[in-house]
Every structure is written in structure tokens, then in C-alpha cells.
Structure 1
């Protein structure tokens, strides 16, 4: 009878341990599912952030390309202007003014437009006034 009692006790103990293991396994499974869900949400959030960053980078790249094109056009135009002005000698115009040339002389001999010739003449006159005062 004592062995029967011991057998029943061990059987009940095994049953209680089995129930404990099942409860523990269910809780563990629930925690794993929660962690998996959080991980999936985090991964989705990271993918969205990467997409936003990629879109921003693409947009910024397009803007940079557009700005680079504008800059290149500006440099080309500046080069054209400088090459056109290459025949214009402002120093020569100043020398001619020193020798008493008129605005019309500057236009014909230096290839200046009338406004440029008048401006140079005015600057030369102002320069003479300032040097007379000092």
C-alpha cells in the first residue's frame, strides 16, 4: 500500500510538473510572439525610414544635377562674355583719354559700346578731380 501511495504521489508530481512545463511553454510562446510582432513592426518602420531617406536622396540628387547644369550654363555664358570682351582694351581707352580722345574715339578705336565709353570717360574725369584735390 505504501508503494501504491508512493506511485500515486510520483504520478501526481509528474502531472503537476507537466502542467507547469505546459504553462511555462505557453507563456514563453506568447512572449516569443510578442517579440516577433515588435520585431516585424520595427522592421517595417525601418523600411519606411529607408524609403523616405532614399526618396530624399533621389530628390536632392536631382536638384544637384539641375544646379550643376545651371552653373555650367552660367560658366559658359561668362566665358562667352569674357571672350567677346577680349578685344576690348579698357587700358587702351584710358590711354586714349589721357591723350585727349573723345567718347566717339573710344567707340570707334576700342570697340566699346557708347555706354562703356561714357562710363570710362566719367571715371577718368572723376579720377582727375580726385587727384587735383590731393
Structure 2
């Protein structure tokens, strides 16, 4: 075996090693891209849920404001604790006073996480 043949065999070995490293790196990149795509989809679903909860909360607040304006013209006082429309909110306020977390309150009262966290912030600011 000549020096040239030995050099070629070493070059072939280095080339194969480089090819193996490149294939391993490519596989890792594809796995990372797949994981990133899954995380993006999860975040998009959470943002959509949060947005829909915010829109629902806004609609409920507008309805409450209209009702308050029409009720303010009357002399009788609104009983929020016994009113079916406001019942989930009064229950949530009581649960926050008891120290429950936002997720649990949202689940028990049938509110979105956005609504529950807004109520929690209002509860904390009133203290």
C-alpha cells in the first residue's frame, strides 16, 4: 500500500465520519423543529382560548353595564348575590377570599381563565 492509498483511506474515513455527524445533526434539528411546532400550536390554542374568554368577559361587562344603567333609573337596589346572572362572579369572589387559586375558581364557577384572573385582580386591588 502506497502513501497515496493510505491518505485516500484516511480521507474516506474522515468523510464518512463527517457524513455521520451531519446525519445525526439533521435528525436532531428535525426533532427540535417538531417539538417547536407542537409548542407553537399549543400556544396558539391558549391564545385563542384567552381571546375568546376576553371577548366573552367584555360582552358580559357590557350587558352588566347596560343593566346597571337601566336599573339605576329605578329606586330598587340590585341583589348581586341572589341574581342568577351574577351568581358565578359572586361565588368566584367568595372563593378568592378563601384563598383558592385562579384555575380552581375558573373550573368550579364555569368561568374562563381570563375572567377568573380579572376577578382575582379586582379582589386583590379591593383589599
Tell me which stretches of 4 or more aligned residues in structure 1 moved more than 6 Å.
none
CA drift at 1:76: 1.7
Structure number with higher relative contact order (C-alpha < 8 Å, ≥ 6 residues apart)? 2
In the TM superposition, residue 74 of structure 1 has moved relative to its aligned partner by 1.0
What is the CA distance between 1:15 and its match in structure 2?
A: 0.2
- 1:28 aligned partner: 25
Larger radius of gyration: 1
Stretches of structure 2 that go unaligned for 5 or more consecutive residues are 76-127
Secondary structure of the 1:77 match is coil
Is 1:48 the counterpart of 2:48? The answer is: no
Q: 2:15 aligns with which of 15, 18, 24?
A: 18
Structure 1 unaligned residues grouped into runs of 5+? 79-134
Give the TM-score of the pair, scaled to structure 1.
0.54
Q: Name the Cα RMSD after superposition.
A: 1.4
User: Which has the larger helix fraction?
Assistant: 1
CA distance in 2, matches of 1:5, 1:52: 71
Between the aligned partners of 2:29 and 2:73, the Cα distance in structure 1 is 65
Within the alignment, does 1:67 sit opposite 2:69 as a pair? Answer: no
Once residues 68 and 12 of structure 1 are traced to their aligned partners in structure 2, the CA distance between those partners, rounded to angstroms, is: 83
Q: Which residue of 2 aligns with 1:38?
A: 35
2:54 matched residue in structure 1: 57
